[in-house]
Amino acid sequence: MARMVTKLAGLGLIGFAGFMFLSAPSVSSMAVYDGLKGDAKNGETVFWAAGCASCHAAADAKGADELVLAGGQEFPTQFGTFLSPNISPDKTHGIGGWTLPQFATAMTQGVTPEGTHLYPALPYAAYNKMVPQDVADLWAFMQTLPASATPSQANKVSFPFNIRRTLGLWKRMFVTNDWVITGDLTPEQTRGRYIAEALAHCGECHTPRNALGGLDRAKWLSGAVSADGKSKVPNITPGKLTWSEAEIVEYLTTGFTPEYDSVGGHMAHVVENMAKLPDSDRAAVAAYLKLVPSIAN
């Protein structure tokens, strides 16, 4: 009996050591950001494309208030309710004390300056495809925004999902730097892919997930249950979305469908953001959507 207990204890220690090793926050070199200067003008375009204000401003914010990124919006999911943090330039309650490499690490690798995992409510699984210059430009623009001294609120997440260390295993299973749509793309299609798969992180809502919250990339953009489980996010592959490219551009510009219906829900924020981009970017997204494998459901 004593030997069995000793063996079980040994196996437990080995298993724990393996868990700690595999779940440890892993950060690749940030040397690419050394000396990189940000362009705030382009950073504003990146800001709207990435939807930063849609999550980090007040839920009903309009106009200048959209640029006050005090956080506090609640996002209910099957794993708990996540609250967006303050990412304003405030040095105490926001991220004004961070450096560009620390910001890039959070955005693209989901790790805080303190070395802890961030929940994928921040879509770093999409942002990890951003080019470093866009990250630097976004950082430069965000430094121009109003600082807010509003403290970030704690997430409402229960055991075992409140153990952030487990996110290291989740990242190993589900996070990849690979594009979904590959092949010989035109410059316009490539730009559309960059916006849709990286900046605007369309797949985070429009692609179904497995029981652990990982995206089913084989069913890319084919529709999903909303994060809170109360509604459905539509299929936007050519198997369901049969609009022309011009009609997609019109929708992303005005929010009106070819049937004269109007956008609603969280997608209204997306359209507001897209409408702030150059016309060529909306056309690029439309061209990209026509490339996505058709799934009818």
- The secondary element (H helix, E strand) that includes residue 42 is helix 40-50
Contact 235, 297 (CB under 8 A): yes
Other C-beta atoms within 10 Å of 225: how many? Answer: 13
- What's residue 108's pLDDT? 96
Query: Which pLDDT does position 13 carry in this prediction?
Result: 56
Computed from CA positions of residues 196, 213, 269, 246, in that sequence, does the dihedral angle turn out positive or negative?
positive
- pLDDT tens, N- to C-terminus, the chain (297 residues): 666 656 555 556 566 456 555 666 777 778 889 889 999 999 999 999 999 999 999 888 888 889 999 999 999 988 899 999 999 999 999 999 999 999 999 999 999 999 999 999 999 999 999 999 999 999 999 999 999 999 999 999 888 888 888 899 999 999 999 999 999 999 999 999 999 999 999 999 999 999 889 999 999 999 998 888 888 999 999 999 999 999 999 999 999 998 888 888 888 899 999 999 999 999 999 999 999 999 997
Is residue 238 within 8 A of residue 294, CB to CB? The reply is yes
Q: What's phi and psi for 266, nearest 5 deg?
A: -65, -25
Q: In the Cβ-directed half-sphere of 275, how many Cα atoms lie within 13 Å?
A: 13
* Dihedral sign from CA coordinates of 55, 58, 61, 63: negative
